Structure 1
């Protein structure tokens, strides 16, 4: 499906493709025909993933089908002309599947210090919302990490597995941002296996978070909620003598869980997970970026806004969102928060204020805004609902996002 259809228009397209009437689809999702008609004609916004997922299930399509994901990664100076397909090839290298074949990857192992520096470079790019750069670097980095994990022995081998796990997680996080949910799952699964071989609880906890994000991206909200609960129980004994990195991983895991619970429309679990994260943030004491988590009180506040929006409490998001100062956080977190505030403002018919938030976010992170379904959906819906020609600012933004 092309990106110049709104979510509602895609629902209508798939409904007709299935030979299904509005009456039947509305009944399957527990809505009225009037509601569905308005959704398909852009008179109400489909901005809650729980609702979109119910429509996807009824139509027997993926959540990504209705969100128009994955998106095409633009060729840039950072990306070159080999982007996601090259990363896909690296992830589908059969030599990574099993040692039973006795196949080892050829090449001299990179020093652990050099490998650690390359992993940090990719994660820094992720937090700077430079997905093209990270996508270009990851295939070679995955190969280097695999060689190191096979070549080193003893404690050095454990360190190599830590770095391989974080490389896979970096790939999973970037691919999730690009809407490549299936590839992200492969990366997260491989990363969790490497993390377990490292014996490092912080790295293992970090990969649990990545698996939760992959479940979220495919609409498996209940499974993600359950995973976070189980992973939390596994990690909780480590809180007795937790260092800042462990606290950050633990808290961030529950922030991911709060989003899963909100999308599953489970208010009680949402609040319980936010409270668990808040306790970890209080224990940490201040915003930080241990293990690339951007965790602390501000990130908890951001998730209070995001979960309120997912639960349909847009007034809460409008009241709280603009008050949060995100200036000390990495670009990825600041941008994501701006998109949430824009969603809430748009729901209150404050299009100009919402567009200002998106434009501000675009000035920080054009790749992230271009590849996020919320930005694309909001802008396209505004264009569709304009009476007459859209303003120059709106038309230019829509062109940059490739939605018209």
Structure 2
């Protein structure tokens, strides 16, 4: 596993040399020393923040996945999800052609029932299962749009957009860059045809995520504000779905601001998201179906507050926020969000110098959401750091003991 760090360093070096860029220039762009870059390229320093990884990749004009070797090499059985991903890409490429669908498509109410199932799979972080469902669902949604009109046609496009959102989420988790890009593009196209006033903001929410890969922090903030403005009136009037999306966009903006080195704005965005969560919690009336599948909640706001503290390099604040966070709020979150949270806590404890707690949090994260954690670059970075530190500590203990035993004499 430690060889993975060395290989990442070699990929960085090859990308840098391909551009004819001196180490000093890359160091200046990153705000690091030349010595830091040299150590990183030799595999002696972990790239332990997503924002840092994205910034390095952007300076070298490559995708972050190119540097970390993602999707990761695994067994043939573990790679079968790429068959489903290829089928989804095929459907998305032919989005404006007559769909190839035998029989009569179901009404939109039937398609939305499938969305509820996908929502549960997403909550369980069962990303491979999501990908296997999507090719047929995308095809049927397009077929329904082709043969229907009015509201039913709009609902067909709405289900197509949300199906693209599930493809986008799974592709991010598993590391399929092409599917990420195309799912976002098709979501934007179908959202405009859906008749749902919130759906275009969902497509922007997806694009913000994609901008992180190229370290376009300021653009991602601008897009966040554009999307927020598009649903501001509905938010002000208390529309429950608009409140969910508004809060989710504020959380996206909080992460963007943290990675842009703007901690005060990041904190302000968290405060706004918390206000939206309180409004949602105080909503009177029957339960609202989260048709956009954004999973916004007070607990989600809290774990984002911890995450942005880490993005700002402040593990002490991250752990302090965690101590103030109700365990019940975290327990109410879906496995996918709990897995992310535990990965963040593992990094926080590692940076705090407590490897035992870091490993315990990482083990918990893997137990809760194995597909997410095993494919997440920061989980792998954290585990590599723990392994390296343990080996270094063991070597030092052995050296001291051999000195005491005069083994060299």
TM-score by length of 1: 0.85
User: Within 5 A, what are the aligned runs for 1:139-288?
Assistant: 139-285=135-281
Residues 200 and 301 from structure 1, CA distance in 2 versus in 1: closer, same or farther, beyond 3 angstroms? Answer: same
For 1:383, the equivalent position in structure 2 comes to 387
For 2:5, the equivalent position in structure 1 comes to 5
Residues 286 and 293 from structure 1, CA distance in 2 versus in 1: closer, same or farther, beyond 3 angstroms? Answer: farther
Verify the 8 A CA contact 2:244 2:276 in the aligned structure 1: yes
> Cα offset for 1:381?
2.6
Q: CA RMSD in A?
A: 2.9
Residues 269 and 159 from structure 1, CA distance in 2 versus in 1: closer, same or farther, beyond 3 angstroms? Answer: same
User: Does 2:88 match 1:84?
Assistant: no
User: Within 5 A, what are the aligned runs for 1:366-377?
Assistant: 366-377=370-381
For 1:96, the equivalent position in structure 2 comes to 94
SS in 2 for 1:201: coil
Provide, for residues 113-148 of structure 1, a one-character-per-residue CA deviation record: whole Å limited to 9, x for no partner.
321122222222111100111111111111111111
Please identify the structure whose Cα radius of gyration is greater.
2
User: Does 2:293 match 1:297?
Assistant: no
Provide, for residues 153-203 of structure 1, a one-character-per-residue CA deviation record: whole Å limited to 9, x for no partner.
111111111111111111111111112233112112211221121111233
User: Does 2:316 match 1:315?
Assistant: yes
> Cα offset for 1:215?
2.0
Q: Which runs of 5+ in 2 are unaligned?
A: 395-409
Verify the 8 A CA contact 1:73 1:132 in the aligned structure 2: no
Q: Which of 105, 123, 148 matches 2:100?
A: 105
* Distance (whole Å) between structure 2 residues aligned to residue 268 and residue 389 of structure 1: 38
* Distance (whole Å) between structure 2 residues aligned to residue 302 and residue 317 of structure 1: 9
Residues 139 and 322 from structure 1, CA distance in 2 versus in 1: closer, same or farther, beyond 3 angstroms? Answer: farther
User: Does 2:122 match 1:123?
Assistant: no
Residues 121 and 389 from structure 1, CA distance in 2 versus in 1: closer, same or farther, beyond 3 angstroms? Answer: farther
For 1:357, the equivalent position in structure 2 comes to 361
SS in 2 for 1:163: helix
> Cα offset for 1:385?
3.6
Verify the 8 A CA contact 2:350 2:386 in the aligned structure 1: no
Provide, for residues 38-64 of structure 1, a one-character-per-residue CA deviation record: whole Å limited to 9, x for no partner.
434555442233333332233332222
Residues 142 and 75 from structure 1, CA distance in 2 versus in 1: closer, same or farther, beyond 3 angstroms? Answer: farther
Q: Which runs of 5+ in 1 are unaligned?
A: 391-404
